[in-house]
Structure 1
Amino acid sequence: MVCSDVTLEDLVDFHAGIDDFDYGHGATIFGMGVPTEAVYCIRAGAVKMVRYDPAGGEHIVRVLKVGDVAGFESAFADHYEHAAVAVGDVRACRIPIAYFRRFVAQHSALQARLFQKSQDALREAEAWLSELVGGTTPARTRMARLLLRLRVGSGDRIHRFSVDDMAAIIGSTPETVSRIVSEFVRQGFLVKSGSGAASRHFRGDIAALEKISQEG
């Protein structure tokens, strides 16, 4: 967490302005280009960060999971750089931007943590492009890498995005992604669990997916 370098006493007054909110599958937490009003610490679920092109096309630029902060890259800008959309049920801790900016200004340790977060996000974006998007790497390999990135913690549970979302992320077609997922299911590398968009997920054979992710 970005606040791990400050004391409990420091946080008491700050927490007065914080609330938890629940978002259903597909809910927009904040929109691209709208005024920056808050940052959101993800407490449960996954969030896709989306950029829209002038034609209305959707480009998923990053996926946030538990412990990540949505909107921090726009915390000192007037408008959000991306939209944040819930994938499945999401719980997020909403920190009003005025509180957040004041708190950062008063705590140098948090400033350093935010700088580190920015560097981590940049590295993640670079890895996203090099490991997942297009190129000559087989789609099967890129799908395995994506599934590993969607893993929840250190267990075998994997966030289950829609076929269209996964295709958009790896730069492939929904038909190709559907075929690869079906192949992984037949081979026992994936098991579909849950019902409905809000709770569905995969159980994955992590060792098998890691092996496939090294192919090509």
Structure 2
Amino acid sequence: MEHIVFEKINAEKSLLKYHKGEFIFKEGTNTYGVYCLLKGKVKLVKRGEDGRDHILRLYRTGDILGYRSLFGTSGYNASAVAIEDCEVSFIDREVFLQNLEDNYFLTFEMLKIFAKELKRTDIHLTNLAQKPVRERAAEALLFIHQTYGFTEDGKTLNASFSREEIATIVGTATESIIRVLSDFNKDGLIELNGKEIAIPNITKLEKVATL
């Protein structure tokens, strides 16, 4: 469904490029429009009360960014940061809202995207409340795999994150995620090589996530 909205935005695009670590948009700044990720990887982060940037979502090629803040007046509710060099297409807020007003089908597709996002959020909040760190950590690694896949070796995650970043996805302390990943490594569930993480047998990790 997102590809339909993607194509509509892409038809009226302004092409923008960002380097690794650059902000595509910042939390609290005015909402100028929506973005489609044409190339690269992006993380959506929000500054928590603990001073850390918590990863809320990961984006890949074809995903739409910034749409959740379109209808408010308080600006973007989180920041989008390039994980690697990226290319995005941008459509002005007023132009996009006019497209929604004129095109029922486009509006319906956007509602589907909102529903998908809300479902994902509900599942994440339920897991935070009910599942132990070990299971949530397994889910986080599977989530990264589902988003970015493996490299050519067929087992190494095609995106690297620091232990602190993984901890914010899981919703735990960095020390806890270091300990859990070390346990996973000892158990043969993953293989650690610096920031790179390999999953030699994804079925075994899926079993941990669903205990």
Give yes or no for TM over 0.5: yes
Identity of aligned residues (%): 26
Question: Match of 1:130?
Answer: 126
Residues 29 and 84 in structure 1, CA contact (< 8 A), matched pair in contact too? yes
Question: Match of 1:38?
Answer: 33
Distance 1:20 1:188, change over 3 A: farther
Q: In 2, distance between residues paired with 1:158 and 1:140? A: 22
2:92 is matched by which residue type in structure 1?
P
Aligned pairs (5 A) from 1:96-175: 96-131=92-127, 133=128, 135=129, 137-151=131-145, 152=147, 156=155, 157-175=157-175
Q: CA offsets, 1:122-174, max 9 Å, x none?
A: 1111111112x2x4522111100011111135655353322112212222221
Question: Match of 2:197?
Answer: 202
Question: Match of 1:22?
Answer: 18
Whether 1:2 aligns to 2:2 is yes
Whether 1:76 aligns to 2:71 is yes
**Match of residue 211, structure 1, among 187, 196, 207:** 207
- Counting matched residue pairs gives 203
- TM-score, normalised via structure 2 length: 0.79
Residues 47 and 84 in structure 1, CA contact (< 8 A), matched pair in contact too? yes
- TM-score, normalised via structure 1 length: 0.78
Query: By percentage of residues, which structure has more helix?
Result: 2
Structure 1 unmatched runs, 5+ = none
Taking only aligned residues, the RMSD between alpha carbons, in angstroms, comes to 2.9
2:28 is matched by which residue type in structure 1?
G
2:170 is matched by which residue type in structure 1?
I
Structure 2 unmatched runs, 5+ = none
Residues 190 and 198 in structure 2, CA contact (< 8 A), matched pair in contact too? yes
Residues 148 and 158 in structure 1, CA contact (< 8 A), matched pair in contact too? no
Distance 1:66 1:5, change over 3 A: closer
Moved over 4 A (4+): 53-57, 153-156
